[in-house]
Amino acid sequence: MPELPEVEITRRSFADQIMGAQVGALRLGLPLRWPLGCAAADLVGRRVLGLTRRGKYLLLQLDRGCLLLHLGMSGSLRFGSELAPPGRHDHFDLQTDRGCLRLHDPRRFGAVVYVPSLDDARAQRLLAGLGVEPLDAGFEPERFYQALRGRRAAIKQVLLAGDVVVGVGNIYACEALFLAGIRPTLRAQRLSRARVARLHAAVVAVLQRALSLGGSTLRDFASAQGEPGYFQLEAMVYGRTGLPCRTCTRTIKSIRQGQRSSFFCPQCQTF
């Protein structure tokens, strides 16, 4: 499932190639999470000015307006000039003079939304509530501590909510909490400054490690050039229920938190 590393790997894998491309045509498959928000013809002739990322959203900036792309749970992008004919799960093809940008998304939790500008109400509704970027300088331990102080919910759920820090999904939340030695069920506000500092470092370390390995490929994630990721091979807890902890050999446990699985080591991760 695409989290920040996968989205960033995707961005880097075709940002340079699509820069300056001119849109020739648009093909839509089955409906995605939200309607596109403009007519296909409105995009024809637009030029791509850049590709940036905010949280798990990719922002394809055009000379007029912007396409917000989200990969949801099962989405992946491809960019190339020799793509195969669209299959049943290819729901968005943006043809340009530099190649075709294709969104493949079997579960269709993903989205492509056109907004005339980032100040647009629709863009703001999606982006305004997002927390700090974990790999930017603005993510620093004291601010993180202050943000967590006001939260009574479990730390795992606060991480996933994305309003404190963005981009940390289920895999990396579980892994960062393991690295920091913190139980996922611990209330956020009960974390000491020292433990928040450890968690801060763990979030950064896990995301950077995942980035360096090309992300996690659980089922079929790949970059826009088709390269899989390898972080899943290093997971300490995610998906390892019943297996021995790689650190202490205690059995990894899994629980449900807010309809989502959490994995942890009962020995290494304390209250």
Partner DNA sequence: AGATGTCCCTGGAAGC
Partner DNA sequence: TGCTTCCAGGGACATC
- Residues recognised as catalytic: 2-3, 56, 260
* Closer residue to DNA (CB): 99 or 131: 131
Residues in contact with DNA by CB under 7 A are 1-3, 30, 33, 55-57, 70, 72-74, 88-89, 106-109, 125-126, 129, 150-154, 157-158, 160-163, 169-171, 188, 219, 258-261
Q: Torsions phi, psi of 123, nearest 5?
A: -65, -40
Produce one character per residue of 86-97: b if its CB has 16 or more CB atoms within 10 Å, e if not.
eeebbbbbbbbe
Q: How far is the CB of 199 from DNA (least distance, A)?
A: 16
> Which residue(s) pair with 22 in the sheet?
47
Residues 48/18, Cβ–Cβ less than 8 Å: yes
* Closer residue to DNA (CB): 73 or 201: 73
Q: How far apart are CA 58 and CA 70, in angstroms?
A: 6
Produce one character per residue of 214-237: b if its CB has 16 or more CB atoms within 10 Å, e if not.
bbbbbeebbbbeeeebebbeebbb
* Closer residue to DNA (CB): 23 or 206: 206
Burial class (CB in 10 A: 0-12, 13-18, 19+), 83: middle
Q: How far is the CB of 234 from DNA (least distance, A)?
A: 16
Q: How far is the CB of 59 from DNA (least distance, A)?
A: 13
> Which residue(s) pair with 260 in the sheet?
257
Q: Which helix (DSSP H) or strand (DSSP E) does residue 208 occupy?
A: helix 193-212
Q: How far apart are CA 184 and CA 219, in angstroms?
A: 25
Q: How far is the CB of 190 from DNA (least distance, A)?
A: 11
**Residue 253, token pair as written in the block:** 């446990």
* Closer residue to DNA (CB): 118 or 161: 161
* Closer residue to DNA (CB): 128 or 137: 128
Q: How far is the CB of 182 from DNA (least distance, A)?
A: 16
> Which residue(s) pair with 255 in the sheet?
262
Q: How far is the CB of 177 from DNA (least distance, A)?
A: 14
Residues 6 or more apart whose Cβ sits within 8 Å of residue 33: 70, 72, 108, 109, 110, 111
* Closer residue to DNA (CB): 21 or 203: 203
